[in-house]
């Protein structure tokens, strides 16, 4: 994603804040003035830089221009890094906590010695914040919860599936505004990255109608702050009741600029650089307003027109990560990506097999989402009575699923499967022989193999490889056990494990669960020619059955076609 005016302004504000912590005079005011004017400027800062016009922004002189250019070119600013190192507190961490702006961070540090998010949480828990000027008991309780959330949501990014309801709400809200022709949520959300930062939204409307669109966004009941507002772009903070607060950046563009703007603001930065290089090679200019040859406009109304003018096939947003897609587009070799409509089976649904009503509801949900089949999965915990793994319970639950499947009113095929956890030496926590009496045997590693077997030399790769070799395994579920937005999944040698899966005909799951979305898309792409994938919802509630879109999106990011996805339909109907 190209750097926005808001991003640049935020960096300038941060420099001002960090200078103030060191009691520097005058300079902070200069940086704040420049930041306000950059944020409000109607022309993109990157475009200003390209035409040498940064100092047209009031308050931007030689020094601040150099700072802005450094950020645009490198994505960082040395001065900020130095000032952060010298700061007596975790400035970036504290200001990432909702409700803690720069002034409050300074106040909390100077009055309570709060240096980290953990310090903030402890101070709130001890009741030390409520008596500070400008706070109170309610603000203290909110800060305690927001600090916990900040520690959980690493880097301030939100899982794609968690951000999706807000993105949908904003898009539908703006689409209902009369002057608006179209609304697209762009950026990393449109590329379907597993986590997103802010939500970037493009609306198309005539320039005269842009204020009406801005009013519609700012007037939402869940908008808690209007960060910046100009004639064609606005930034707000939105705090919906059922999901994390996020920043929403709205830009209104003319209909004849819509395609160019979608390309530019969808990104990624490296993908856009590749497109601009192709334009530069022809002596043309590509920016968010269109593709130009001198003063002649060549394309811009549609994305396809931009790509076509550059002798490229249109590139699906999920592939725009500079991983070879432009070369493939130039050669006509882009894959025909799998779609959610092609998937006909949800192979992992954790619905209580003893609850016939829940099974019927799950089947109806699957049918409503155009699936032909779903598989109910049991784990060891589902099969234990009085602490003992119970064969009779296994058979009773399997038969309960079969009874519902036999009901002619049930609109999809129901299957029953086991999910076993792999331990030392590839041992499973359910008898592998039971797999003969059900549809499939899936396996997964424990969240922490070291805790699962404290006396073992922990090698989860060896465990899972042995399981593939010694048991009739059909699917490998949640290969790295990651939970978003935590960036540290289980340390598994995927090259070795996937090779073993391929050798034993084990399919690897791509989870559509909003907190998982694994196998990670880069690994999906790396191994797509070696192993089959299955996309599964991992649903724990009947209402989530068949929600496969986000898993399919990760498969698409991994360049997968229907041939790579075992539970996708093929043209002749064969599996």
1's CB contacts (< 8 A; 6+ apart) are 187, 188, 200, 265, 266, 267, 268, 269
Alpha-carbon distance 397 to 264, whole Å? Answer: 53
**pLDDT computed for residue 452 by the predictor:** 58
466 vs 500: CA distance, rounded Å: 9
Look at residue 570 and tell me whether its pLDDT is greater than 70: no
Residue range 308-337: average pLDDT?
A: 97
The overall average pLDDT reported for the chain is 89
Q: Using one digit for the tens of pLDDT, what is the confidence trace for 488-537?
A: 678 899 999 999 999 999 999 999 998 899 999 999 999 999 999 999 99
Closest to 213 measured CA to CA, from 263, 256, 170, 257: 170
For 340-564, CATH number out of 3.30.200.20, 3.20.20.140, 3.40.50.1370, 1.10.10.10 equals 3.20.20.140
The CATH superfamily assigned to 158-253 is Beta Polymerase, domain 2 (3.30.460.10)
Domain with CATH 3.30.460.10 in the chain: 158-253
**pLDDT tens digits, 242-273:** 677 889 999 999 999 999 999 999 988 889 98
* Cα angle 368, 186, 193; round to 5: 70
* CATH of 5-151 among 3.40.50.10860, 3.40.50.880, 3.40.50.720, 1.10.150.110: 1.10.150.110
> What are residue 540's phi and psi, to 5 degrees?
-110, 0
pLDDT at 154: 43
**pLDDT category of residue 84 using cuts at 50, 70 and 90:** confident
> For residues 380 and 571, which has the higher predicted lDDT (pLDDT)?
380
In the chain, residues under CATH classification 1.10.150.110 are 5-151
Q: At what angle do helices 102-112 and 117-125 cross, to 10 degrees?
A: 70
For helices 549-557 and 160-175, the axis angle rounded to 10 degrees is: 110
Which homologous superfamily is 267-331 in? DNA polymerase, thumb domain (3.30.210.10)
Could you tell me which residue, 213 or 133, shows the higher pLDDT? 213
Tell me the mean pLDDT in the region 342-359. Answer: 94
Which stretch of 241-255, 439-453, 488-502, 550-564 has the lowest confidence by average pLDDT? 439-453
Which one has a higher pLDDT value, 448 or 344? 344
Q: What is the pLDDT of residue 238?
A: 92
The pair of three-digit structure tokens given for residue 257, joined into one six-digit string: 């600029």
pTM: 0.74
Residue 484: the pLDDT is 84
User: 214-251: per-residue pLDDT in tens?
Assistant: 999 999 999 998 988 888 889 999 988 767 788 999 99
């Amino acid at each position: 994603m190209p750097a926005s005016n808001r991003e640049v302004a935020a960096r300038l504000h941060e420099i001002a804040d960090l200078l103030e912590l060191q009691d520097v005079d005058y300079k902070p005011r200069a940086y704040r003035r420049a930041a306000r004017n950059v944020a409000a400027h109607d022309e993109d800062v990157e475009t200003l830089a390209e035409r040498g016009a940064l100092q047209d922004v009031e308050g931007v002189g030689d020094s601040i221009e150099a700072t802005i250019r450094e950020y645009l070119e490198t994505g960082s600013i040395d001065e900020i890094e130095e000032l952060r190192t010298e700061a007596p507190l975790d400035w970036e961490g504290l200001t990432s906590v909702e409700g803690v702006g720069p002034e409050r961070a300074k106040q909390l540090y100077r009055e309570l010695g709060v240096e980290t998010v953990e310090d903030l949480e402890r101070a709130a828990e001890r009741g030390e914040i409520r008596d500070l000027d400008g706070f109170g008991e309610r603000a203290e309780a909110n800060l305690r919860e927001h600090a916990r959330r900040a520690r959980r949501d690493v880097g301030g990014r939100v899982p794609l599936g968690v951000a999706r309801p807000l993105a949908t709400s904003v898009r539908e809200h703006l689409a209902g505004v009369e002057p608006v022709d179209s609304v697209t949520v762009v950026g990393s959300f449109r590329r379907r990255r597993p986590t997103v930062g802010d939500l970037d939204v493009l609306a198309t409307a005539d320039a005269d109608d842009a204020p009406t669109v801005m009013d519609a966004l700012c007037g939402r009941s869940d908008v808690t702050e209007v960060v910046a507002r100009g004639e064609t772009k606005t930034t707000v903070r939105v705090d919906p009741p059922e999901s994390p607060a996020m920043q929403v950046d709205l830009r209104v563009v003319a209909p004849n600029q819509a395609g160019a703007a979608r390309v530019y603001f969808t990104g990624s930065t490296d993908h856009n650089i590749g497109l601009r290089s192709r334009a530069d090679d022809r002596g043309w200019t590509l920016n968010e307003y269109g593709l130009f040859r001198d003063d002649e406009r060549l394309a811009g109304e549609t994305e396809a027109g931009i790509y076509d003018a550059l002798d490229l096939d249109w590139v699906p947003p999920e592939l725009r990560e500079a991983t070879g897609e432009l070369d493939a587009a130039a050669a006509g070799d882009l894959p025909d990506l799998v779609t959610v409509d092609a998937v006909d089976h949800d192979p992992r649904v954790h619905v209580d097999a003893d609850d016939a009503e829940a099974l019927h509801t799950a089947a109806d949900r699957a049918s409503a989402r155009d699936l032909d089949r779903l598989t109910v999965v049991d784990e060891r915990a589902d099969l234990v009575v009085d602490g003992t793994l119970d064969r009779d319970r296994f058979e009773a639950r399997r038969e309960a699923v079969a009874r519902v499947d036999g009901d002619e009113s049930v609109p999809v095929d129901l299957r029953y499967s086991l999910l076993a956890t792999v331990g030392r030496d590839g041992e499973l926590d359910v008898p592998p022989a039971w797999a003969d009496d059900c549809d499939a045997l899936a396996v997964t590693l424990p969240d922490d193999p070291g805790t699962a077997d404290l006396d073992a030399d922990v090698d989860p790769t060896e465990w899972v490889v042995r399981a593939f070799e010694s048991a009739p395994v059909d699917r490998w579920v949640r290969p790295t056990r990651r939970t978003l937005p935590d960036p540290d999944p289980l340390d598994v040698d995927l090259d070795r494990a996937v090779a073993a899966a391929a050798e034993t005909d084990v399919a690897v799951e791509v989870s559509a669960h909003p907190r998982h979305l694994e196998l990670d898309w880069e690994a999906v792409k790396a191994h797509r020619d070696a192993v089959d994938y299955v996309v599964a919802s991992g649903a724990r509630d009947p209402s989530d059955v068949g929600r496969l879109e986000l898993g399919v999106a990760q498969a698409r990011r991994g360049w997968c076609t229907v041939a790579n996805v075992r539970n996708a339909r093929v043209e002749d109907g064969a599996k």
